[in-house]
Amino acid sequence: MKRLLPILSVLTAGLLAYALYEALWVAPTDALQGEVYRIIYYHVPSAWTAFLLFFINFIASLQYLASMTPARRTLVNRIVSVVSVVDLIVTFLPPVQEQLKNVGMRPSAVATTELLIPGAYFLMGRWFSGRRLVSEQFARRQLDALAVTCAEVGVVFCSIVLVTGPLWARPVWGIWWAPGDIRLTSTLVLWLIYVSYLVLRRFSSSDQMRVLAAVLAVFGALDVPLVYLSIWFFRTQHPQPVIGGGGSMDPRMLHVLLLSWMAWLCFAFLVCWSRFRLELLKRDVEEMHAMESLADTGAAKPSLPLERSVR
């Protein structure tokens, strides 16, 4: 992977440049908003990327908590399986299907998402607990490193969302921010939750603090569905979705939007991979220093005389 990193970096830079060209010059101008709408090619992909990274952080944190003991892993696995089956059954109940259709959501898409969550959970558990790893402790360390890496990069993309949103809202709505808007407020809360998560991680590197941070990440991830579903279930200043939910979008605009998202995903992958490796190396150095300190302490401790030690 280290040899592929420069090649992937060049390809990603080229993809980002091409996506920028498509967004600024190729994509048609919106008839109502004018040129300012082109922020969508950075605002929306950044939001989707942040949601994906927070989702990975949630799965990694849940796996980290479950891997503390074999009994806890078994319990969490059963809870995830039962909750997934119950959610899947509830989704296809006639009243629920009718409610989903009223807000423009397809029950099949909701069911697919409900299957994706346990699938990602068990896949990640199998990946980090496979035979390639030396021990369970090493697997937990990698899960924790993956969680903090995705949180850091996710906060960066969420910050882009909070910056580009007001820049887009000012010329369109006439205001920078709509106080009380559920979509805007829940996004800000989501950003604050993960900033708090990172501050907690910086406060201490002990195992207890990592457990507390993982618990915060699991509860913080509950805000992601609220951010996404808020425009369907609440009255909000934020416009309704143009992809799904009964909306529509010019195919040329949609092509550029998906291209921009692909470019940002590649960029996020490279940053996460580099940060993940750096986090593991950092922990190796910290453990090495700790072992050296213990060795120096043991060597500096005076030994008792032989006859006193025998007594």
Whether the pLDDT of residue 9 is over 90: the answer is no
- The confidence score (pLDDT) of residue 153 equals 95
Mean pLDDT value across residues 13-25: 91
- Give 248's pLDDT tier (boundaries 50, 70, 90): low
Residues in contact with 50: Cβ distance below 8 Å, sequence separation at least 6, in sequence order: 154, 155, 157, 158, 161
Assess contact for 249 and 41: CB atoms under 8 A: no
Distance between CA 41 and CA 257 in Å, rounded?
A: 5
Q: What is the pTM of this model?
A: 0.84
- The confidence score (pLDDT) of residue 128 equals 76
- The confidence score (pLDDT) of residue 303 equals 46
- Give 304's pLDDT tier (boundaries 50, 70, 90): very low
Distance between CA 239 and CA 24 in Å, rounded?
A: 22
- Tell which residue, 184, 151, 152, has the closest CA to residue 166: 184
pLDDT digits (tens, 9 = 90+) for 37-94: 888 899 989 999 999 999 999 999 999 888 877 888 888 888 888 888 887 888 777 8
Burial class (CB within 10 angstroms; exposed 0-12, middle 13-18, buried 19+) of 17: exposed
Angle between helices 40-66 and 70-91 (to 10 degrees): 130
Whether the pLDDT of residue 262 is over 90: the answer is yes
Distance between CA 208 and CA 221 in Å, rounded?
A: 20
pLDDT digits (tens, 9 = 90+) for 93-125: 788 777 777 666 677 777 777 788 888 888 887
